[in-house]
Amino acid sequence: MKKRLSMLLAALLSVVIMFSACAKNSNDAGNASKADSITDEDNTFKVGLEAGYPPFNWTQLDDSNGAVKIQNGSEYAGGYDVEIAKIIAESLGKELVIVKTEWNGLIPALTSGKIDAIIAGMSPTDERKESIDFTDNYYTSELVMVVKKGGKYDNATSIQDFNGAKITAQLNTFHYTVIDQIEGVNKQTAMEDFPSMRVALESGIIDGYISERPEGISAQAANSNFKMIEFAEGKGFETSPDDTAIAVGVRKGSELTQKINEALAKISEEQRKELMDNAIMNQPAAE
């Protein structure tokens, strides 16, 4: 009887050992799969942008002129921001992933970890610095007004020439706040994006919209009915250096800040100008 009991216990012990081994192998495989997933994720540099703010960023149908495929879509993103992102990703030794995101969703996407950085023509304003950090600047611009060519404001030389004009700018940008510097302006509701403002201008809903010089050049190049109005010193909008600067947005305390700054430091002013000139030249013909 004792012999039978011993044999039964031995058999049960073998079964337990066998199942334990199978479970361990299964867990090891699962852990390996998880580790591979983490490794793959760590090897990407996920950048958020609108893909709707030429020449900084736009959407196109193919990879011409170095455009990068947009995550989870069939379209591609091109523009100055994309070229800067490519240089940074290469410096980091990571694969660039473009995540097309609406302007108002960029900071939430960054803080929630859906993207690693914002490279979207974003200015490092004090308000934004409360939520995220910024790298060194990668571009500095100036404010302009985009109007209808041959229209009432075609010959404007000062922002005060827009007294009574219907003017707007993009929602949640400092562009919209400076409209108040125009005396007697007919300030319109802020719009979601630049394509919407171009349509509104073309249709006469607005008389003009505030933008930065590269986008103004882009607008008049894309549509012969548009004209960019530049202002001489003392005739334009009062802005702070942070307002007209453009930097990469990263999470608070991110180790990427220093690494991205190192990558940006290697881009000469001449190269930055060349990248912007090419972006203006390569932008889609129309929005």
* Residue 20 pLDDT class (50, 70, 90 cuts): very low
Kindly tell me if the per-residue pLDDT of 11 is higher than 60: no
Confidence (pLDDT) at 52 = 93
What is the DSSP-derived secondary structure letter of residue 121? S
Give me the mean pLDDT over the 200-223 stretch: 94
35 band by pLDDT with thresholds 50, 70 and 90 = very low
For 44-140+242-282, give the CATH class.
alpha beta
Provide, rounded to the nearest whole percent, the portion of the chain with pLDDT above 70: 85
Instruction: Please say if the pLDDT value at position 30 is more than 90.
Output: no
Residues making up the chain, counted from first to last: 287
Superfamily of domain 143-229: Periplasmic binding protein-like II (3.40.190.10)
Per DSSP bridges, beta strands 76-78 and 58-60 are antiparallel
- Can you give the residue ranges of every domain in the chain? 44-140+242-282, 143-229
Percent of the chain residues topping a pLDDT of 90:
79
| pLDDT score of 285 | 66
**Model pLDDT for residues 92-114, shown as the tens digit of each residue:** 999 999 999 999 999 999 999 99
Cα(124)–Cα(137) distance, rounded to whole angstroms?
8
For strands 76-78 and 68-69, give the pairing: antiparallel
Straight-line distance from the first to the last Cα atom of the chain, in angstroms, rounded to the nearest whole number: 89
Mean pLDDT value of segment 224-252:
95
- What are 58-104's pLDDT values in tens digits? 999 999 999 999 999 999 999 999 999 999 999 999 999 999 999 99
Asked whether the whole model's pTM tops 0.85, one would answer no
Residue 112 pairs with which residues in a beta bridge? none
Q: What is the pLDDT of residue 41?
A: 54
pLDDT band at 2 (very low <50, low <70, confident <90, very high): very low
